[in-house]
Amino acid sequence: MITQTMDIPDKTKGDAPRDTLTITDNRTGKTYELPITDDTIRAMDLRQIKVNDADFGMMTYDPALLNTAATRSSITYIDGDKGILEYRGIPIEQLAEHSNFLETAYLILFGELPTAQQYHEWQDKVLHRTMVKEYIKVLMQAFRYDAHPMSMFISTVAALSTYYPEANQIMNPEIRMKQIVRLVAKTPTIAAYSYRHHRGLPYVYPDNDLSYTGNFLNMLDKMTQVKYEPDPAWERALDVLFILHADHEQNAGTNAMRAIGSTHVDPYSAMAGAAAALYGPLHGGANEEVIRMLTQIGSIKNVPEFVEKVKKGEGKLMGFGHRVYKNYDPRAKIVKQTAYQVFESTGVNPLLEIALELERIALQDEYFVKRKLYPNVDFYSGLIYQAMGFPMAFFPVLFAIPRTVGWLAQWQEGLIDAEQKITRPRQIYTGPAQRDYVPMSARK
Ligand code: CMC
C-alpha cells in the first residue's frame, strides 16, 4: 500500500535501500512512497495521489500499452534485449531441436513436459477429436469461392460455440479442458478446409493414424490416393514452425484473447477475436506482406533503392522490427535454418537471395542498427510456406493453428488468476465539455 512519507533513504549516510519508489507531487508538495515488486509499481497505488479529496487520483497514460504489465504469467519468458524465448523455462532452440508440436503444446498448457504415458494419452485425446461436425463443413462450403482462408477460419472458430453450448461454463475445469482439447484438435481441420475451399478442392477428412502435422498435410494435399503418406521433411518442418509459433506472451492476439476471455464468454468466441487480431498485417499477417514486398523488389539490384525508401518513411521493411525484441528474434534464426532444410526438397525459393541481401544491408545500416530493427519470425517463414506451395492468403492461418495453444493457455491462466477482472482500461477524455442538445431546426 502507498504511504505518504518524507523519510527518503540517503545512501551517502549509510541508510539501507528499500524496495520502494518515492514520488513528490509538486502540485501539493506531498511525497509518497510506493512499494516496488518485480521492478514494477502498481498503477492503482497512484490513485492515492490527489490534489484534493474530490480529485479522481493519478492514472498512467500508456497508449498501445508500451510499458504496462497487465498480468503475471508463468507461461512464456522473453528477454528482448538478449533475444531469449522460453516456454515454461525451456529455451525455444531446445524445443525446436528435440520436441514435437504436441509435446510442446502439453508443456505450454500443463506447465511440465509430459511423461511417456501422459504424452500418449494427450496425443490420443487430440488426434481423436480432429473431426468437425458435418454442419461445420456445410457452413464453410457456404463461403464464396474466393473467400480469404483467414476470414473463413475466424468465422468458423466463432461458429464452433454454437455446437458446444456447455463451453460457456468457463469456471468448470473439466469443461474448460474439453474445449481446449477440441480447439487444439480441430483448428488444423478447419484450416485445411479453408485451404481446400480456396483451391476449389473437396474437403479431406482427418486421418488419425498420422501425426498432428502429418494429418494436417493429409487434409491439405490428399487427392485420389487411398492412403496419404506425408513427406517426413515437410512434416518435421511444419512441426518446428508450429513449435516456434505456439506462444509469445502478451502479444496483440493474446491480449485480445485475455481481454475477451475476461468477460467470461466461451473460448470459441474469445479465440475468434484473438485470431482476428492476428490477421492484421502488423501481426500474423506480416509473413504475407514480406512475400509481397520481396516480389515487389523483384531483384537483388533493387534492394539498396528499396532500403532508402524505407528510411525516408515510404513504407516499412516487413518482417523486421518487434515491440519486444531489440535483437535478432530467436525464432527467425531457427526459421532461417528450417528454410534451407525445406529448400532441399522443394528447391530454393527465388526470393531467398533478395531476402538475404535485404537482411545483409539492413543489419549494417545506421537506420536499422540505431532502432535495433532485426528480422522477426515472419521474415523467413513466408519463404518456406511459399516454397511448399501454400498461397499467401493461407500464411496467417498457418500461424493461427499453433498459436491456438498459447491463446488457450493464456486464457485459462487469466481466468483462474484471482487478481484478474474484466479488462477495462481508462481514458483521458478530450471531447467537448457538457453542452445542451440543439433541435435540428435550430442547428446552423
Ligand atoms: N521498417 C522500418 N522502420 C521500422 C520498422 C520496419 N519494419 N519497424 C519499426 N520501424 C521504425 C519506426 O518507424 C520507428 O522509427 P522512429 O523512431 O524514427 O519513429 C522505430 O523503428 C520504432 O518503431 P515502432 O513503430 O515504435 O515499434 P513498435 O514496437 O510500435 O512496432 C512492429 C513493432 C512489429 C509493429 C513494427 O516493427 C513493424 O511494423 N514491423 C513490420 C511488421 C512486422 O514485421 N510485423 C511482425 C511482427 S513479429 C510477428 C508477430 O508477433 O506478430
- pLDDT tens-digit series, residues 154-209: 999 999 999 999 999 999 999 999 999 999 999 999 999 999 999 999 999 999 99
Q: Has residue 4 got a pLDDT over 70? A: no
Q: Has residue 9 got a pLDDT over 80? A: no
Contact 57, 48 (CB under 8 A): yes
Q: Which of 150, 282, 289, 314 to mutate to test the pocket of ligand 1 (most atoms within 8 A of CB)?
A: 282
Range of 4-18, 212-226, 328-342 with top mean pLDDT: 212-226
Catalytic residue IDs: 283, 322, 378
Q: Is ligand 1 within 6 A of the CB of residue 253?
A: no
Q: Is ligand 1 within 6 A of the CB of residue 382?
A: no
**What is the domain partition of the chain in residue ranges?**
88-282+394-415, 286-387
Three-class DSSP labels, the chain: CCEECCCCCCHHHCCCCCCEEEEEECCCCEEEEEECECCECCHHHHHHCCCCCCCCCCCCCCHHHCCCCCCCCCCEEEECCCCEEEECCEEHHHHHHHCCHHHHHHHHHHCCCCCHHHHHHHHHHHHCCCCCCHHHHHHHHCCCCCCCHHHHHHHHHHHHHHHCHHHHCCCCHHHHHHHHHHHHHHHHHHHHHHHHHHCCCCCCCCCCCCCHHHHHHHHHHCCCCCCCCCCHHHHHHHHHHHHHHCCCCCCHHHHHHHHHHCCCCCHHHHHHHHHHHHHCCCCCCHHHHHHHHHHHHCCHHHHHHHHHHHHCCCCCCCCECCCCCCCCCHHHHHHHHHHHHHHHHHCCCCCHHHHHHHHHHHHHCHHHHHCCCCECCHHHHHHHHHHCCCCHHHHHHHHHHHHHHHHHHHHHHHHHCCCCCCCCCCCCCCCCCCCCCCCHHHCC
**Buried-state track 194-224, b at ≥16 Cβ within 10 A, e below 16:** bbbbbeeeebbebbeebbbbbbbbbbbbbee
What is the separation of C-alpha 127 from the centre of its chain, rounded to a whole number of angstroms? Answer: 24
Q: Whose CA is nearest to atom 9 of ligand 1?
A: 321
pLDDT digits (tens, 9 = 90+) for 248-283: 999 999 999 999 999 999 999 999 999 999 999 888
CATH superfamily, region 286-387? Cytochrome P450-Terp, domain 2 (1.10.230.10)
Task: State the pLDDT at residue 284.
Answer: 87
Q: Has residue 3 got a pLDDT over 90? A: no
Instruction: Please compute the mean of the pLDDT values over residues 357-365 and round it to a whole number.
Output: 93
- Topology classification of domain 88-282+394-415: Citrate Synthase; domain 1 (1.10.580)
Task: State the pLDDT at residue 2.
Answer: 56
Instruction: Please compute the mean of the pLDDT values over residues 339-346 and round it to a whole number.
Output: 89
pTM equals 0.92
Across the chain, which distance is largest between two alpha carbons, in Å?
A: 83
What phi and psi values does residue 291 have, to the nearest 5 degrees?
A: -65, -40
Give the range among 274-278, 343-347, 396-400 with minimum mean pLDDT: 343-347
Domains 88-282+394-415 and 286-387 share a fold: no
Task: State the pLDDT at residue 49.
Answer: 97
To the nearest whole number, what is the mean pLDDT of the chain? 94
Q: Is ligand 1 within 6 A of the CB of residue 282?
A: yes
Q: Which of 376, 380, 381, 383 to mutate to test the pocket of ligand 1 (most atoms within 8 A of CB)?
A: 376
Task: State the pLDDT at residue 10.
Answer: 75
Contact 92, 244 (CB under 8 A): yes
Q: Which of 279, 373, 403 to mutate to test the pocket of ligand 1 (most atoms within 8 A of CB)?
A: 373
Q: Is ligand 1 within 6 A of the CB of residue 277?
A: no
Q: Has residue 148 got a pLDDT over 90? A: yes
